[in-house]
Amino acid sequence: MKLIAKLLAGIVLGLLIGLYAPEWMARLVFTAKALIGQLITFTIPLIILFFITSGIASLPKNSGRLLGQTVALSYGSTLMAGTLAFLVASHFIPLLASTTAMTNQEGVKLASYLTLEIPPLFGVMTALATAFVFGIGISATESHDLRNVADQGRDIIDRLLAKVLIPLLPLYIAGVFVEMTVEGTVFTTLKTFGVVLVMAILMHWLWLSVLFVGTGLALGRSPAALIKNMLPAYFTAVGTMSSAATIPVALRASKHNGVSDGIANFTVPLCATIHLCGSTITLVTCATAVMFLSEHLAIPSLSEMLPFIMMLGVVMIAAPGAPGGGVMSALGLLTSMLGFGDASIALMIALYLAQDSFGTAANVTGDGAIALWVDRFAKGQQGAPALEQDAA
């Protein structure tokens, strides 16, 4: 919550500097934004490489069919949630938001005092392919040395995010809002912000309703009772903004819903890593809004957006635990697949962080529905007790 307050302070500071400060001050903040942007661009492939490699390598290997079912259900939920979010956002955002795009109305352009380029070590797709090769290879060969390298690399990048990049985000966003204020596009953008945030939260609730109503009807359970039992996990996640910190509450809530101990102990911690339906809804909704606002971007068709949604479900595996980790993991796809520039990336970060607690809460609550299905499948298979023992 402190980060959100700092983010809002950055937006206000950017507005004030852009409107009232002398040009040299505006250029100074803009220069800081440009340098931070270079560091973010450099870090994106490293996030993908180390976090995905470590995430795949750490997946349990002795749970057989149970693991496959959990992964398939989680990915299917994430994919459907992202698709539904795009269909709703692409239809309603142009109707509800201002029809004025982010055009350069005043023709004023800020120039940075310092130009410094920090090219990434490799591209986003190279990082993704390498992560899969080594993640699967480490899991198959049980290479402890490479596993340690991946885990330690993940810890280093996580420390960079938590101690450097995340604290610098308010300054970065302040620089973007200085630029937009000078160019005359800021008020149109802010008008759309509120619409997008409300829409993202409503989409979270809609998808959770779909999950639990469908699950309740299929399993012969009361959807209202299932949702009620998961509410402590939802509100805990809203307060903590952390899936990991909410795991104990989510475990207890899933067991109250009748999920056996072994299945709950296996699926809930695993889904905290791989089931990110709420974060995906937010990213897709915000990306659609940013494309609508940007003069040089156009909202794609569903067939053009599906590859992005499918890749998003993969890239967000083991997203960094720091606040905003989901959007940091997705930046590579936003730039490479959707063509986002610096201003669009900054808007995505601002929008995502403003509702991060609600996206996390949707992720955690949705894990309860996945656990119910895995429990049902396990009980319906021969040797279910053995599966539960493996899971435990």
Are 264 and 251 within 8 A, CB to CB?
A: yes
| Residue keyed to tokens 């539960």 | 388
The dotted CATH code for 1-381 is 1.10.3860
> Which distant-in-sequence residues (6+ apart) come within 8 Å of 155 by Cβ?
none
Q: What is the pTM of this model?
A: 0.74
Cα–Cα distance, 319 to 218 (Å, whole number) = 31
| Percent residues over pLDDT 90 in the chain | 18
CA 321 to each of CA 14, 214, 230, 281: distance values in angstroms, whole numbers, following the listed order: 28, 30, 22, 18
For residue 26, what pLDDT band results from cuts at 50, 70 and 90?
A: confident
pLDDT tens-digit map of 330-379? 888 888 888 888 778 878 887 887 777 788 889 999 999 999 998 888 87
Instruction: Write down the pLDDT at residue 99.
Output: 46
* Per-residue burial over 55-78, b = 16 or more CB atoms within 10 Å of its CB, e = otherwise: bbbbbeeebeebbebbbebbbebb
Per the DSSP assignment, residues forming a β-bridge with 294 are: 102
| Cβ atoms of 278 and 368 closer than 8 Å | no
pLDDT in tens, 73-123: 989 999 999 999 999 988 888 876 554 444 444 446 777 777 788 888 887
Q: What is the pLDDT of residue 101?
A: 44
The C-alpha atoms of residue 76 and residue 289 are separated, in whole angstroms, by 24
The answer on pLDDT for 321 being more than 70 is: no
Mean pLDDT over the full length of the chain: 81
Structure tokens at 147: 């596993």
Cα gap 109→21, rounded to integer Å: 15
Query: Among 146-150, 176-180, 200-204, 382-386, whose mean pLDDT is lowest?
Result: 382-386
Contacts for 323 with CB less than 8 Å, ≥ 6 apart = 3, 166, 241, 353, 356
CA angle in degrees (0–180, nearest 5) for 327-247-278: 35
Helix (H) / strand (E) element for 308: namely: helix 302-315
Six token digits for residue 107: 């023709």
The rounded radius of gyration (Å) of the Cα atoms in the chain is 21
> Does position 310 have pLDDT exceeding 70, yes or no?
yes
pLDDT band at 18; cut points 50, 70, 90: confident
For residue 112, the model assigns a pLDDT of: 73
Q: Is the pLDDT of residue 232 over 80?
A: yes
Beta-carbon contacts of 4 under 8 Å, excluding residues fewer than 6 positions away, are: 353, 354, 356
Describe the chain by its helix, strand, coil percentages, rounded to 5: 80, 0, 20
Q: What is the rounded distance in angstroms from the CA atom of residue 246 to the CA atom of residue 364? A: 8
b vs e for 227-255, b when ≥16 Cβ sit within 10 Å of the residue's Cβ? bebbebbbebbbebbbbebbbebbbebbb
Q: Bridge-partner residues for 102, per DSSP?
A: 294
Measured CA to CA, the distance from residue 197 to residue 216 in angstroms comes to 29
Residue 240's pLDDT band (cuts 50, 70, 90): low
Per-residue pLDDT tens over the stretch 203-220: 999 999 999 999 999 999
- Contact assessment for residue 16 and residue 94, using Cβ atoms and an 8 Å cutoff: no
Phi, psi of 222 (to 5 degrees): -80, 115
Residue type, 107: G
Determine the pLDDT at residue 389.
41
Domain ranges of the chain: 1-381
**The length of the chain, given as a count of residues:** 392
Angle between helical axes of 65-96 and 261-274 (0-180°, round to 10): 50
The yes-or-no verdict on residue 27 having pLDDT over 90 is no
For 165, which DSSP code? I
- 324 pLDDT band, cuts 50/70/90, is low
User: CA-based angle 72:284:364, to the nearest 5?
Assistant: 50
* Distance in angstroms (rounded) separating the CA atoms of residues 189 and 98: 9
